[in-house]
Amino acid sequence: MSAKTADLELGKDLIGLEDLSREQVLGILDTAEPFKEISERQIKKVPVLRGQTIVNLFFEPSTRTRISFEFAEKRLGADTVNISSSGSSVQKGETLVDTARNLEAMRINMVVVRHGSAGAAGFLADRIPSNVINAGDGQHEHPTQGLLDLLTIRDRFGSIDGRRVCIVGDILHSRVARSNIWGLLKCGAEVAVCGPKTLIPKGIEELGVHVIPRVEEAIEWCDVLYVLRLQLERMDAGYVPSLREYNRVFGVSSERLAHASDEMVVLHPGPMNRGVEIDSDVADGPRSVILPQVTNGVAVRMAVLYLLSGGNPERAEAAKRGDA
Partner 1 sequence: MSRPLLLVGGRTIDPSQFLDGPGDLLVRDGRIEALGQVTAVPEDAERVDVDGLVVAPGFIDLHVHLREPGDEHKETIRSGALAAVAGGFTTVWAMPNTDPPIDDPAAVGFVRAAGARAGGARVSPVGAASLALKGEQMTEVGELVAAGAVAVTDDGHPIWDGSLMRRLLEYTQTFGIPVVQHAEDPVLSAGGVMNEGTVATALGLRGIPNASEAAIVARDLYLAELTGGHLHVQHVSTREAVDLIESARSRGAHVTAEVTPHHLALTEEAVRGYRTEAKMNPPLRTEADRDALRSGLAEGVIDAIATDHAPHHYQGKEREFDDAPFGVVGLETALGVCMSELVQTGILSLSDMVDRLSCGPARIMGLEGGTLRPGSPADIVVFDPEERWTVDPAQFRSKSRNTPFAGRELRGRVRRTIVGGETRFLEPQEQPARSLTRAG
Cα 33 from Cα 306, distance rounded (Å):
13
The smaller minimum CB distance to partner 1, of residues 207 and 243, is found at 207
Residue 238 touching partner 1 (CB under 8 A):
no
281 and 254 Cβ atoms separated by less than 8 Å: yes
Interface mask (CB under 8 A) for partner 1, residues 6-35, using x and -? Answer: ------------x-----------------
Position among 137, 149, 223, 279 found at the interface with partner 1 (CB under 8 A)? 137
What residues between 96 and 135 interact with partner 1 by CB under 8 A? 96-97, 115-120, 122-123
Q: Respond yes or no: is residue 142 known to be catalytic.
A: yes
* Cβ closest to partner 1, residue 52 vs residue 99: 99
Q: What's phi and psi for 267, nearest 5 deg? A: -115, 155
Question: Which residues, including other chains, have CB under 8 Å from residue 324's CB and lie 6 or more apart?
Answer: 48, 311, 315, 318
Catalytic residue status for 64 = yes
Nearest distance in Å: CB 282, partner 1: 28
Do the Cβ atoms of 99 and 57 come closer than 8 Å? Answer: yes
Identify which of residues 93 and 158 has a Cβ nearer to partner 1 in the complex. 93
Distance CA 81, CA 136 (A): 18
Number of residues this chain uses to bind partner 1 (CB under 8 A) = 25
Contact between 155 and partner 1 per CB under 8 A? no
Q: How far is the CB of 226 from partner 1 (least distance, A)?
A: 17
Query: For partner 1, which stretch binds (CB under 8 A), given 26-34, 198-206, 281-289, 304-312?
Result: 198-206
The residue from 4, 41, 44, 64 that is catalytic is: 64
Q: Name the catalytic one among 115, 140, 142, 268.
A: 142
- 92 catalytically annotated: yes
Distance CA 2, CA 247 (A): 44
- H-helix or E-strand spanning residue 226: strand 224-227
272 binds partner 1 (CB under 8 A): no
In total, the chain counts a number of residues equal to 324
Choosing from 75, 114, 115, 320, the catalytic residue is: 114
| Residue 251 C-beta: closest distance to partner 1, Å | 25
Burial class of residue 283 (count of CB atoms within 10 Å of its CB; 0-12, 13-18, 19+): buried
**Closer CB to partner 1, 78 or 166, in the complex:** 166
Return the residue of 13, 70, 141, 277 that touches partner 1, per CB under 8 A: 141
Shortest reach from residue 18's CB to partner 1, in Å: 7
CB 97 within 8 A of CB 120: no
Scanning 89-97, 250-258, 265-273, 307-315 for contacts with partner 1 by CB under 8 A, the matching segment is 89-97
Kindly report the backbone phi and psi dihedral angles of residue 30, in degrees, each rounded to the nearest multiple of 5, phi listed first: -60, -40
Q: Is 99 a catalytic residue?
A: no
Q: Is 66 a catalytic residue?
A: no
Q: Is 207 in the site for partner 1 (CB under 8 A)?
A: yes
Nearer Cβ to partner 1, position 18 or 317?
18
Radius of gyration of the chain, Cα coordinates, nearest whole angstrom: 19
Looking at residue 188, the DSSP 8-state letter turns out to be: T
Instruction: Kindly write down the DSSP assignment for every residue of 86-154, as one continuous string.
Output: TTSGGGGT--HHHHHHHHHHT--SEEEEEESSTTHHHHHHTT-SSEEEEEEETTTB-HHHHHHHHHHHH
* Interface residues toward partner 1, by CB under 8 A: 18, 95-97, 115-120, 122-123, 137-141, 175, 178, 201-204, 206-207
Catalytic residue ranges: 64-65, 92, 114, 142
